[in-house]
Amino acid sequence: MTNRTYTVVFQPSGLRGKVKDGATILEASIKLGAGIESVCGGKGTCGKCQVRIEEGYFAKYGISSSIASVKNTGEANQKFISKRQLKQGYRLSCQTRIYGDVVIFVPEKSRKGQQVIRKEITVRNIRLKPAVRKYPVELKPATLHDPIGDYERLQAELTRKYKLRNLSIDYPVLMKLQNTVRQSNWQVSVSVWNGKEIIDAAPNKTDKTYGLAVDIGTTTVAGYLCDLTNGDVLATASMMNPQVAYGEDVMSRIGYATKSKDGLKQMNRVIIKGLNEVAGEAASKAGIRRTEIIDMTVVGNTCMHHLFLNIDPQYLGKTPFSPSVHHSLDIKARDLGLRLAPGSYVHVLPIEAGFVGADNVGVLIAEEPYNQDEMLLIIDIGTNGELILGNRQKLLSTSCATGPAFEGAEIRHGMRAAPGAIEKVKIDPKTKEVQFRVIGSESWNTEVKNIGARGICGSGIFDVAAQMFLAGIIDKSGRFNMRIKSPRLRQSGKEQEFVIARAKETAINQDIVVCQRDIRAIQLAKGAMYSGAKMMMKRLDTKKIDRVILAGAFGSYIDKESAAVIGLFPDCAMENVIAVGNAAGDGACMALLDMRKRKKADIHAREVEYVELTVEPDFNTAFTKALNFPHAEDAFPHLKHLLPSN
C-alpha cells in the first residue's frame, strides 16, 4: 500500500469519495456508505457482495474506470462468479482491492436493505386487449392425400377455429415451424400480433403471455413485467439510465451525441444493454425466461426516444427543435438489439412535440384529460419538466428546462433519492430547529441516534425551501434573512447558509447545509414550471385550475403543500392536488395491455397543441414574476391557511 488515494464512485447511488491505495471495495463501501451487502463480513465465503466494475470514461465523474484498476485477492472470485461474469467485470467486493480510479455498479441483489424504487406504478382498472394473443391449435397430421404445407395447415386451422385470416408469419418462426409442429405432436400455441402476424409458435404448454412496459427516464429506467392474460404486474425492475455517464440531462446528452464521434452509438448501446438487463431482471423475478416476453411498450422523452432508436438527437437540440418522427412505431425487438421473444415487436408510443415526448403521451392516456370537463394541469416533474393543461375541449402542452435541481443535482448537498438522503424536513417557525427523515430510516432525526444523513434529495429540497420560507429564514424573493437569530443560520465566506443536519447527525462528518445558491436553483426550476403553466392558461383564456396532477415518480414523494407553498403551480384547492406516481409508466403499461390505449395515444398525441415557450413574447416577464415564493403577484386563496399573512 502506498499513500495514494483513488476516486471511487458507486452506481446507481452516485456516491463518491476517496479511498486509499489497496482498499477493498467493501471497505470503500463501508467508508462511503454505499451499503453493499455482506453476510460473512468480508471473508469471501458468502458471495453476497458481488459488484460490477464499470468500464469507460465517465465524463460526469471526471474519471476513467477499468477492470485493470482492481486486483483480485484469493480464489473466492472464481468460486462465486462465472468466467463470463468475471469478464463482464463482476467481482466480490471483499476480495477485490482498488489500485486506481474506479466506478462500481452495485446490483440490486447486493444492496443492503430495501432499495428505493422511485418508479412504482399504479395498477388501475385496465380493460384487456393486448396486441399479442396466444391461440392453442391442434393440427391434423400431413398425409400423402393431404400433404399441404405446415404453414397453410396452421393458417387453415386458425381460420376455422378463431376466424383469423390472412396472417403473415415472421420469418424466424417459419424457419422452425416444421420441427416445432412435429415435436409437439401437432399441438401448438400460436402467438398472433395485432391480428396480423404469427410471431411465435411453441409447444402447447401454457396460455400465459408476458409483456414488458418500459419508461426510459433521463435518470431512471423502469420496466414493468405484465401478464397479458390478466393484466397483473408480475415484477418491476429499475436501474439508473446508464447514459447518465455521458451527461446528466437531455441537453448534455444531445451535446455528447453531436460532438463525440460514436457518441450516439455508445449511448444507444448502453441503453439497449440496460434494457436487456432490466428485462432479464424482471423476468427472473417473475420466474420466467426473458425470451418469454413477447410484447413491449416504450415511453420516454423525445431525446430518450431518439437515443433508444439510435436516431441522431442533434436536431432536437437546435431550433426549430424538430424530431425525426412523431408517430408511434412498431419495430421488431431484434432490429433494436433487444433479446426478447425472437418475433416480438416493440411499440414505441408517439411523441408530441419538442421535448414533450412519449412519456407525456403515457401520462395523457393514463390520466385521460381528453375525457374530463374539469380544467386539469398535469405536471410531470423529471430532469425535464412537462406540462399539460386543458380538458375535453382542448389540450395544450409545453416543456420547461427545470434543470436537475429537483433531483438533487446543482445543489451543494444534493443527492439522488438513495439511502442516506434527507427526504423530509420540518422547521419550527419559532425556534428554527430542524427535524428531518432520511431514506432507509422510518424515524425522524429527533428519535434515533445514528441517522447517517449523506445529503438532501429532491423531495427534501422542496420541503427545505417551503419550510425556510414559512419560517421566515428566506423571504418571498428567496433572500436569506440574516436578522434571524439561529445558530443554524450563518455566513460562510461570501455565502450564507442554513444547517439542516449537523455533522454528528451525518455519515459524512460535516454539516449538511442549504446555501443561497441552492435556493436560487430551486427558484429557477419552480419558476420555469409555474410560468409555463401560466402561459398555457393565458392561451386557453382560463383563470382557474380545477385539479393539479403531480405525475412522475418524483411527484409521489414530494409534499404537495411544500410544492404549493414554493409556487410550483398556480392556486388550486389542496384536496384537488393529487400525486399519481409514475403516470408515464402507467401509460406504458396500459398501452401494453390495451390496444385501444395505443389508438387513443395516436389520436391525442396529434391533437395536443404544443406551446413553444421561448417564442412567446411575454414569457420572460412571466418567468421573472414566478421566481418569487410562491409568486410575485398572483393570489393563492386556497393557501391562505398556510402562507404567512404579510
| Binding stretches for a second copy (CB under 8 A) | 142-152, 169, 171-172, 174-175, 177-179, 182, 309-312, 314-315, 319-327, 329, 331-332, 335-336, 351, 353-354, 612, 615
In the complex, minimum distance from the CB of residue 173 to a second copy, in angstroms, rounded to a whole number: 11
- Amino acid code (one letter) for 179: N
Q: Least distance (Å) from a second copy to the CB of residue 84?
A: 23
Q: Which is nearer to a second copy, 287 or 320 (CB)?
A: 320
**Nearer of residues 287 and 617 to a second copy, judged by Cβ:** 617
The C-alpha cell at 363 is: 401520462
R_g of the chain computed on alpha carbons: 27
User: Minimum CB separation from a second copy for residue 64, in Å?
Assistant: 29
Under a CB-based contact definition with an 8 Å cutoff, are residues 256 and 267 in contact? yes
- Closest approach of a second copy to the CB of residue 355, in Å: 11
Distance CA 421, CA 460 (A): 8
Distance between CA 317 and CA 323 in Å, rounded? 10
Looking at residue 501, the DSSP 8-state letter turns out to be: E
Residue 618 three-state SS: coil
Nearer to a second copy, 40 or 175 (CB): 175
Nearer residue to a second copy within complex by CB, 165 or 485 = 165
Q: Are strands 345-348 and 512-515 parallel, antiparallel or unpaired?
A: unpaired
Nearer residue to a second copy within complex by CB, 77 or 180: 180
Return the number of the residue (320 or 493) whose C-beta is nearest a second copy: 320
Beta strands in 55-196 (DSSP E): 56-58, 63-65, 70-72, 90-92, 96-98, 102-105, 132-138, 168-169, 187-193
Position 221: which residue type? Answer: V
Whose Cβ is closer to a second copy: residue 616's or residue 634's?
616
Residue number with CB closer to a second copy (83 or 145): 145
Q: How far is the CB of 507 from a second copy (least distance, A)?
A: 46
Which value, to the nearest 10 degrees, does the dihedral of the CA atoms of residues 261, 262, 264, 269 take? -160
Distance CA 487, CA 335 (A): 61
Contacts 24+ apart (CB under 8 A), 595-598: 595/129, 595/130, 595/131, 595/194, 596/127, 596/129, 597/365, 598/131, 598/328, 598/347, 598/349
Given CA atoms 32, 36, 38, 43 in this order, what sign does their dihedral have? negative
Shortest distance, position 311 Cβ to a second copy, whole Å: 5
Q: What is the DSSP letter of 242?
A: G
| Nearest alpha carbon to residue 348 among 492, 150, 533, 213 | 213
Backbone dihedral angles phi then psi of residue 327, each to the nearest 5 degrees: -55, 155
CB of residue 628 vs a second copy: minimum separation in angstroms? Answer: 30
Exposure b/e, 577-609, CB count within 10 A at least 16 = b: bebbbbbbbbbbbbbbbbbebbebbbebbeebb
Closest distance to a second copy from the beta carbon of 256 (Å): 17
Closest separation in Å from C-beta 497 to a second copy: 42
For the bound state, the minimum distance from the C-beta of residue 542 to a second copy, rounded and expressed in Å, comes to 24
- Residue 576: C-alpha distances to residues 53, 374, 388 (Å): 47, 11, 16
Q: Which is nearer to a second copy, 352 or 380 (CB)?
A: 352
Q: Provide the residue count of the chain.
A: 646
CB of 406: closest distance to a second copy in angstroms? 27
Q: Which residues contact 291 (CB under 8 A, 6 or more apart)?
A: 339, 340, 341, 342
Nearest-approach distance from CB 461 to a second copy, in angstroms? 33
Tell me whether residue 317 or residue 452 sits nearer to a second copy (CB atom).
Answer: 317
- What one-letter code names the amino acid at 30? I
- For the chain, helix (H) and strand (E) counts, in that order, are 17, 31
Residue (230 or 322) nearer to a second copy, CB: 322
Residue placing its CB nearer to a second copy in the complex, 5 or 324: 324
Which CB, 21 or 616, lies closer to a second copy? 616
Name the pairing type of β-strands 187-193 and 168-169: unpaired
Element (H, E) at 389: strand 385-390
| Minimum distance, C-beta of residue 71 to a second copy, in the bound complex (Å) | 37
Tell me whether strands 293-300 and 329-332 are parallel, antiparallel or unpaired: unpaired
CB of 57 or CB of 171, closer to a second copy: 171
In which residue are the cell numbers 453531436 written?
Answer: 258
What cell does 579 get?
Answer: 400525486
DSSP state of 449: S
Phi, psi torsion values for 148, nearest 5 degrees: -60, 155
**411 alpha carbon, distance to own chain's centre:** 20
Buried b (16+ CB within 10 A) or exposed e, 509-530: eebbbbbeebbebbbbbbbbbb
In the complex, the smallest distance separating the C-beta of residue 145 from a second copy, rounded to whole angstroms, is 8
Nearer to a second copy, 126 or 142 (CB): 142
CB of 527 to a second copy, least distance (A): 23
User: What's the rounded Cα separation, in Å, for the pair 121 and 562?
Assistant: 23
Q: Which is nearer to a second copy, 309 or 405 (CB)?
A: 309
One DSSP character per residue, 348-359 reads EPP--BTTB-HH
Report the nearest approach of a second copy to the CB of residue 310 (Å): 5
